[in-house]
Structure 1
Amino acid sequence: MKKILTLCLIFTITIGFAQSRFDKVEIKSEKLSDNVYVLFGAGGNIGVSVGDDGVFVIDDQFAPLSEKILAEIKTLSDKPLKFLVNTHWHGDHSGGNANMAKAGATIIAHDNVKARLLNPRRDGSYNPKEALPVITFNDKLNITINNEPVSVFHVANAHTDGDALLYFTESNVLHTGDTYFKGRYPYIDLKSGGSAKGYIEAAKRGLMVIDENTKIIPGHGSVSNKEEYQTFLKMLETIEANVSKAIADGKTEDEVKADASITKQYDDLGYGSGFINSERIRLTFYKSLKGE
């Protein structure tokens, strides 16, 4: 009984700390075009299109932030919430799905996103029906809303196996989801079907549809542009080349993990200061490239 009470106390304290953390989060918006905005808070960046047709949202961060997110959206438009696209399944991008669905959004995502959201969560529970995508796609999808065609296209085995990029064709705004972490090493979720080569191909795919005037909403980080996106791709290709050479030279996983020279060029620029440090990105590339 004491063990049970202790576990309950730890769980309560953990929830309390998490809620306290979210209580301090502010949702801030930045205008990118006449009708497209980005919302910053905690978790993945949110894209929002507003206009006569209603509100179109990309990603929704964590469930405890839904009320704040919806309140910020209300300052941008008094129209109803129509559609929500998840760029992938991770909780910092899809955690608010059920709340957004209850607020009126029809959820859209890649087939693999729905498949992963159907799996049990870490605590053994399942996502409620409201949190699941209602519309799924395999390769690409076109949505016309607020007098603007939006291209939604799948990039295979990049950050995960269900990543989508969205391009607002009139506003010239690209939302990359977590296939782009501005100025830092990315998280490549190998357990969710992500891969180093697929991640590189996703960046190349994104660069194909934009120009020098495009405003880019990365999964994490401030609003970006083509030049910064190209620098990010160059970083990925450099690490791929360095790790590939190390593998060809017979280096072990531990040796690559410990070899700071592989990433030094970008470590010095601060790329390892985020969620993924230099050691972890070397290890991720090694495991992915070795497996291929």
Structure 2
Amino acid sequence: MDRRKFLLQSSLLAAGAVLPFKSLLAKKQGDFTTVRRNVGYFTERGGTIGWLASPNGMAVVDSQYPESAKNCLNGLQDKTDQPLNLLINTHHHGDHTGGNPIFKGVAEKMAAHENVPKLMKKANEESEGEGNTAFPETTYSENWKMDLGDETVHTTYFGPGHTGGDSVVYFEKANVVHMGDLVFNRMNPFTDRPSGGSMKNWVKILSTVADEYPSDAIYIFGHAKPEFGVTGDKKDLDVMKNYLSAVLDYAQKGIEQGLSKGEIMDKKSLEEFEHFLYADFWTLSDNLGVAYEELME
């Protein structure tokens, strides 16, 4: 994928546009799944929404798109009479923030890493005002937390990964971790370099997160190949980390052999990671191009 196309798709993602990878984002309507202790996830169209719905606290992690955001909010209001206390955006891409206008004025707080509103505003400028203007107003540089009844929600920034503003969200009492797009479960991930993403640091983040939280934590992933699902455990984080490491290693060996970027990118799959092939939005070849650029800096 050339840089122009990369930048265009990144901008459209942030603006909440529907891209050619619609099949990747399409999910059946109104799918609420409880994970543990009043915490669960919602899938319809876009990045997986995490939620807390208890008698004394309600929170949402990510907002998908306006229509699915409405469906999520309506469903949560059937689960609890508690008003929406908190919306967290794990990062700025439109399939995670496009529903923000639905929650604005409903959520008492809208929170994200400090880079998220900056990146949303940049995307809005690039789309000539067609983008999302419901920006998170509560921001943080490293970590932040909020008590919601008998649950405490923590957000942590471990540095650039998928983008330059990814948060990991932890529901402490439920012991559930929402990874946002720091995990694409068994599918080729997208590293948004124009928005500050870093494949090398992404590998470090996955190692750190695996050590940071309890061994029995349940993880919610932003996207997944359907047969593998949007929840998992530390082993799934390791698979993702090993894939990114393998991409970087392959690119590094090619550089050492004097191969060009195009020659390094001319690869359809990596041994032991053939199952990562899914959809055509972002491929192994694209990831090898990202790795090459990053390693050559």
Shorter-normalised TM-score: what interval? 0.7 to 0.9
Q: Aligned equivalents of 1:198 and 1:217: distance in 2?
A: 20
Match of 2:285 in 1: 279
Match of 2:14 in 1: none
Match of 2:80 in 1: 77
Q: Aligned equivalents of 1:278 and 1:211: distance in 2?
A: 32
State the SS of the aligned residue for 1:265.
Answer: coil
State the SS of the aligned residue for 2:82.
Answer: coil
Q: How far 1:40 sits from its partner (Å)?
A: 0.9
Q: Aligned equivalents of 2:179 and 2:132: distance in 1?
A: 27
Counterpart residue identity of residue 244, structure 2: L
Q: How far 1:126 sits from its partner (Å)?
A: 5.7
User: Once the two structures are superposed, what CA deviation does each residue of 1:229-284 show, in whole Å capped at 9, x if it has no partner?
Assistant: 212211221221121111122211000011346x23312xx202144222222222
User: Once the two structures are superposed, what CA deviation does each residue of 1:59-93 show, in whole Å capped at 9, x if it has no partner?
Assistant: 00012322211122123222111110100000000
- Of 272, 279, 296, the residue aligned with 1:265 is 272
Q: Which range moved further: 188-197 or 115-124?
A: 115-124
State the SS of the aligned residue for 2:85.
Answer: strand
- Rg comparison, structure with higher value: 1
Aligned Cα RMSD in Å? Answer: 2.5
Q: Which has the higher helix share?
A: 1
* Superposition map of 1:211-222 within 5 A: 211-221=214-224, 222=230
Q: How far 1:135 sits from its partner (Å)?
A: 0.6
The answer as to 2:104 corresponding to 1:98 is no
Counterpart residue identity of residue 292, structure 2: Y
User: Once the two structures are superposed, what CA deviation does each residue of 1:16-58 show, in whole Å capped at 9, x if it has no partner?
Assistant: 999xx99985021111112101111111111111223331110
Q: Aligned equivalents of 2:27 and 2:163: distance in 1?
A: 30
State the SS of the aligned residue for 1:259.
Answer: coil
Q: Aligned equivalents of 1:165 and 1:23: distance in 2?
A: 24
The 8 Å contact of residues 86 and 111 in structure 2, kept in 1 or not, is answered as: yes
The 8 Å contact of residues 176 and 206 in structure 1, kept in 2 or not, is answered as: no
* Superposition map of 1:1-292 within 5 A: 25-119=28-122, 120-125=124-129, 131-221=134-224, 222-260=230-268, 263-267=270-274, 270-274=275-279, 275-291=281-297
Q: How far 1:149 sits from its partner (Å)?
A: 2.2
Structure-2 change in CA distance of 1:189 and 1:23 (3 Å): closer
Q: Which range moved further: 200-209 or 83-92?
A: 200-209
Q: How far 1:154 sits from its partner (Å)?
A: 0.5
List structure 1 runs of 4+ shifted beyond 4 angstroms: 15-18, 21-25, 126-129
Counterpart residue identity of residue 125, structure 1: G
State the SS of the aligned residue for 2:216.
Answer: coil
Counterpart residue identity of residue 201, structure 2: G
Q: Aligned equivalents of 2:27 and 2:278: distance in 1?
A: 23
